[in-house]
Amino acid sequence: MNKTNHVILLFGMVIGLATCGRQVMGDDWPQWRGPTRDGVWKETGIVDKFSIPQLPIRWRAGIGSGYSGPTVAEGRVYVTDRQTDPRQTERVHCFEWQTGRSLWSFSYDCTYDVGYTAGPRASVSIDDGRAYALGTMGHLHCLEAASGKLLWKKHPGVDYNIRLPIWGIAAAPLIDGDLVIVQLGAQGACLVALDKKTGVERWRALDDQASYSAPIIIQQAGRRILVCWTGNNVVGLNPGSGEVLWKYPFSPNQMIINVPTPVVSGDRLFLTGFYDGALMLKLRQDEPRVEKIWRRQGTSERHTDALHAMISTPIMEGDYVYGVDSYGELRCLDARTGDRIWEDLTAVPKARWATIHMVRNGGRIWMFNERGELVIGTFSAQGFHEISRAKLIEPTTEQLGQRGGVCWSHPAYAYRHVFARNDRELVCASLAAEDRL
């Protein structure tokens, strides 16, 4: 073998090993609700059901309190938390995915002036070697994902005059092309798009108040549309310029409390909130415009109609919506009318704000409820069918002091593992079929 062929062979082996390692590692979970921000988990080779009541924990890493769910990219796990001693700070953590070994932490002073002070709300968004962390008071930091080095920052009161909602800034940053888009609720800048590499502002839009609902990108009328549910409206914008293409009023009756992410299926756009019930919009396909299909609202959060979701983002498939009502009632709605098809009270114990985070994997739904249980099941018009459940992590009381605590943070699913946090720790557990859980 001559020298040239030897070099080519060695180069091919390196590339092959890297590719193989990447295939074994599996899919990333680099942002809120997964790779495509829609709660879809596409990995295969996942366990069919659990054979034991407690999932074996691969590793645990100690962290502080916070509502933000973990994200996973390029072999690293990211999560944020809050410390109050010796002073109030927010922190961004990065761990090695296989071992939970701490790779770096970035902290900054942050005094809270909000309700529910457990910690940051927004998941860290990872893109092109950068980590974008949005804090409760509106601090935005762009960090080098591998090292935690600060690349640029935006601070409330310095860069933007944020009108803080009662529970703080919560919507995870959205990366779109060369932009990072955030819902800040600043005066004249409810939505802001920044150059993702430099932090230079590219556009700002709306004078709406901020909500807690994360923006998404959809396809409508042959165009890419940025959809954001603000504190006042549901809005469709040109993601490249911030131009408002359509706006539908959806102001709160009592207070801004819209948390779930908007859900799209076909030409339907669904939104739901704790006090304000549910709204189904038709996405016109001949032009970027929306029309109301139906709106349903009960007399209170106890006496609800259709769906009054608090934290849980619903799932919409075909002519059905599956979601969690104000007291944890798992419901199926007719997407055409909002009529209730069925209700199930077994997925999570009934309680005010009871939460389930739902993710689709093939024909199954993976549900992480606020008791720290992982539930595998299926939904259909005939009902909810539970296949299996196992304990993953214990509830803790910083996020909510009632009912012995809760697990309100959305887990991440990556590398055929699940990553979940409470107020004390971040845990990793295998979901691989080969591990025979």
Number of domains in the chain: 1
Read off the pTM.
0.94
* Mean pLDDT on 351-380: 98
**Count of other CB atoms within 10 angstroms of residue 80:** 29
Helix, strand counts (H, E) of the chain: 1, 32
- For 412-422, write each residue's pLDDT tens digit: 999 999 999 99
218: containing domain = 3-435
Gap between the Cα atoms of 76 and 96, Å rounded: 5
Q: What CATH number has the domain bearing residue 365?
A: 2.130.10.10
Strand 140-144 and strand 130-134: the pairing is antiparallel
Rounded to whole angstroms, the maximal C-alpha distance in the chain is 82
Q: Is the predicted pLDDT of residue 5 greater than 50, yes or no? A: no
pLDDT value at position 195? 98
- For 372-403, write each residue's pLDDT tens digit: 999 999 999 999 999 999 999 999 999 999 99
pLDDT band at 436 (very low <50, low <70, confident <90, very high): low
Tell me the two tokens of residue 272: 């739901």
Q: Is the predicted pLDDT of residue 356 greater than 90, yes or no? A: yes
If we measure between CA atoms, which residue out of 243, 343, 254, 355 comes closest to residue 301?
254
Please give the single-letter amino acid code of residue 13. M
* Mean pLDDT on 174-201: 98
- For 237-270, write each residue's pLDDT tens digit: 999 999 999 999 998 988 999 999 999 999 999 9
pLDDT value at position 435? 82
pLDDT value at position 371? 98
> In this structure, what are the phi and psi dihedrals at residue 3, rounded to the nearest 5 degrees?
-60, -40
Compute the mean pLDDT over every residue in the chain, rounded to the nearest whole number. Answer: 94
Q: Is the predicted pLDDT of residue 2 greater than 70, yes or no? A: no
* Mean pLDDT on 172-179: 98
pLDDT value at position 437? 59
Half-sphere exposure of 88 (CA within 13 A, CB side): 11
Q: Which residues of 137-167 are buried (b: 16+ CB within 10 A; e: fewer)?
A: bbbbbbbebeebeebbebbbeebbebbbbeb
pLDDT cut 90: percent of the chain above it:
92
Are 195 and 202 contacting, i.e. CB atoms less than 8 angstroms apart?
yes
Gap between the Cα atoms of 257 and 259, Å rounded: 6
- For 11-48, write each residue's pLDDT tens digit: 444 444 343 344 457 999 999 999 999 999 999 999 99
Q: Is the predicted pLDDT of residue 6 greater than 90, yes or no? A: no
**Count of other CB atoms within 10 angstroms of residue 251:** 12
pLDDT value at position 22? 41
Gap between the Cα atoms of 119 and 68, Å rounded: 8
Gap between the Cα atoms of 310 and 139, Å rounded: 25
Gap between the Cα atoms of 371 and 405, Å rounded: 8
pLDDT cut 70: percent of the chain above it:
94
**Count of other CB atoms within 10 angstroms of residue 3:** 7
Are 339 and 348 contacting, i.e. CB atoms less than 8 angstroms apart?
no
3-state secondary structure of 231: coil
pLDDT value at position 4? 44
Gap between the Cα atoms of 64 and 34, Å rounded: 23
Half-sphere exposure of 192 (CA within 13 A, CB side): 27
pLDDT value at position 13? 41
Q: Is the predicted pLDDT of residue 161 greater than 70, yes or no? A: yes
pLDDT value at position 268? 98
**Count of other CB atoms within 10 angstroms of residue 29:** 30
- For 284-328, write each residue's pLDDT tens digit: 999 999 999 999 999 999 999 999 999 999 999 999 999 999 999
